[in-house]
Structure 1
Amino acid sequence: MKTRSLGRLTAVAGAAVMCIGGLVAITATPAQAQERVVLSSGHTDAVDVHYEDGRLALKVHDDTVRPSVTRDPQDVTFQVLPQAAVEVPDLPEYAFLGPAGSTVWLLPMTQDPSLLWPGWNTTTLQSGLFQGDKVRLSLVDVVGPGRVSVFMTDPVGQPLVKFRSDDGLPDALDVPIGTHAHANWVFSALGSYTLTFRADAALSSGVAVSTGPVAYHFVVGDRPDPEPQVKLSIQGQQPAYAPGAAVTLTAVQTPATDLDRYRWFSKCPGATGYAAIPSEVSATYSFTATVKLDNCQYLVRLYRDGEVPVAESAPVTVNVEDADVPGSSQTIKVTIDEAQGALVLSVDPKDRTVNLPAATMSVAGDRWQSAGDLRPVTVTDTRPGEPGWNVAGQLSDFTAGDLRVSGKYLGWTPRVLGQADGQGVAAGAAVASGFSAGNGLAASSVLGSAPPGDGRGTARLGAGLTLELPTETVPGQYVATLTLTAI
């Protein structure tokens, strides 16, 4: 790749560009996101601070068109063109950008007509409106394949760092009213980035106002298809997990493609941004729930050609609790008669959640399918007289918020996983999914049994699970409760 020298660029950058005064025309804000506009060259106040109708807001002042317009950040993609590539100079003051000689992508502080020239702007705000005649602009989060730095240079070329993602966020900058400023924006890797900014201020009355977090989307290098042919979501997450439970998150493409390169990211409470999870590059990410992971968020990205992002999922939150886990946990009922010994039915409390893989379309295209295994069920019979026993299960409806799907669509093939010497435990009959006919596990179904005289001791039962859902099932994360009863 042919790159320019960052040292030569900063040598001519000069003092910070600061223009005082001037008003920007404000267009009506759309009620919802429109088709995203791509800005790749020309002047723009990327972070444009407004105060309207008692609310502080962040906009984008697009000066690349005539007349200029004000846009919502969610409607804009800022593109850092491939020709923005430069080499990090061999100067210690620029070491924060990366190793000397390495390539970064830079939008310079002084305008280059062939590149985008983004800045920030407070010229629309009235003097005397805010305490100190200033607002605080913060970069609160960066999600992307590399580091992001925003810095100015002084008259002799020394960097004045304003925002930097790799040494802890948020970074805050007090911006006086009437400011129009530009800086060097540097990205360390190709790909898609989301920069989250926030503006805060105190009105002259003392009332605090804030924009809240506002996402800005940047693409460094060539853009992926403007209309991605695949959307990405995460499935398999349960409403809550007990410590020690297995968590399996699965990335699902809609529609499915041949792309199979993923990258998983996490952000736990107290973290300043999402961090890539090392070595997790497949469609499935599995780990063990711990109390420390409570309220951690996870997202996944899909890539093509190694580093070109194609799609990004919405984040999901994992909740870890000490209490019994609701949802798809196995609900156990136990009957104990002290005078007559006991028939005890149990499931390991650390292994009582069934995580079925994300459903896929059948070859015939007539149903959604998924399969998995019931967690092991232990039956211990210490009753005198050896009356025998029977364990049956019945499934509730699957629910996803207000959505509901009958439990009949789940079937099973029971198995005897182990039994004591002399026991005569038998697996129950296979129950087909009720997709075509029948009630599946919505009706009470035998998991296993032992005849009189052959039930005393401990046995372990399991089952293979088969789920078949109609194609019109509304997408979502569905959970159901299987109630097991021993008699």
Structure 2
Amino acid sequence: MKRIATAAIVAATVLIGPAPASAAEQVVLAKGHTDAIDVHYVDGALRLKVRDDTVSPAVVRDPADVTFQVLPAAETAVPDLPTFALLGSPGDRIWMLPQVQDPALLWPGWNTGALDRGVLVDDRVTISLVGAEGPGDVTLFDTNSLGTPTIKFRSADGLPDRLDVPVHTHAHAGWVFSAPGAYTLKFQADATLTGGTPVSTGPVDYRFVVGGGELGLTVSGLADGEYQPGDTVTLQAVQTPQGSLTRYQWFSKRPDDPDFAPVEGETGAAYSFTATRALNATEYLVRLYDGENVAASSDPVTLWVAFPQEGSSAAKSVTATIDGTEGALVLSVDPEHRVVTLPAASLSATGDRWESTGALQPVTVTDTRAAKPGWTASGQVADGFRTSDGRDFAGGYLGWTPAVVQQGGRQGAVAGPVAVPYVSGQPGTGLGGSAVLATAPAGAGLGTARLDAALRLSVPTDTEAGTYTGTLTLTAI
């Protein structure tokens, strides 16, 4: 961390492209875009991966590390239209992830964009659904411009089902499950190398949980045996597998209470408090929420607190002094967050821009100056973005939407205005010029504030393909 009395300057590098994920990281994907069937050819082998765009930067995961969750909001009815008879009788309940993205649901697709041309015969790969286990049937279909459905995969009429897919294809379909519960879908990719050698992934398991209720939630951290009065108790909510939901509520129930009651203000994954004899035999549980719906609830755990130990006691006064005559303004970035990798850009909805979105990651501003002059944090990509071979575009094509994610109780930090990426003939210069991330007025800057921003890259469609790197300089004065 670099400390400067009147200003602090740090730099972070912004890259475009996906990053690999840890093989041991177990995740639940419940909302947002993902290429569930992501075909790769690496080290002479054809492989199936999962490209997870629900996080920024995007990561490539092993299917064994992923559970795909079809949330209860996906429940709907089979339309009363003859063309949709393939899904069941009109009015039958189904759980559908639609072909067109719904921000409240998962949007899985398939992708052969990682395959190079000229490696496979006819530049094609065959993706097959070779097995489906679960409480109901599974159907993948897409619709043409007239709304007529075309089946891609369907377990009800026998498997395997095969789909020939050209390389550099990215597509989505409707995924329909006829009953809630846990499913295992077995996908396989096959191709022939241009030299005549066949290659295959073999069957690869994909886990789907439909309709909720399968996400595990437990409470850890409670010590075996009794706590002594005055001990610190820390309870931890644990999702199995770990997912993207983060809104919790802790509940407690003393022996004489008729039911569990929410613990006010305790909405994080961890809950800490001091053990007292009055809390002996109190039960605790935690619930995980998706919006207003309970996604999972733990079993209760019981706290046991011993009687106070006999004997004498004494108290000691401890005095701490903070020297207000010294101080500094410090802007810092966690070393793990100094590189931000944006997902590969895709065409905008209007088809006239290449766009990608991500997160700046937390930036910390700490002001310990006794005079409380206030501060302004800003950022700029002054030198633009460049590839290793010299191609470039201006920093103004990157914009942000700032946010103050945390600050002290006496601070008054305010997020800066949206910096819109540059478009010819329209207002907005993005981060090509200095853009305010946040400000704290005089008298309200003392303390530590954590800042972040949603990043948006938007470049013209004639921008040459490549990986571009730029330096975002962050300044606090």
TM more than 0.5: no
Return the index of the structure with the highest Cα Rg.
1
Q: Which has the higher contact order (CA 8 A, sep 6+)?
A: 2
TM-score (norm 2): 0.42
TM-score (norm 1): 0.41
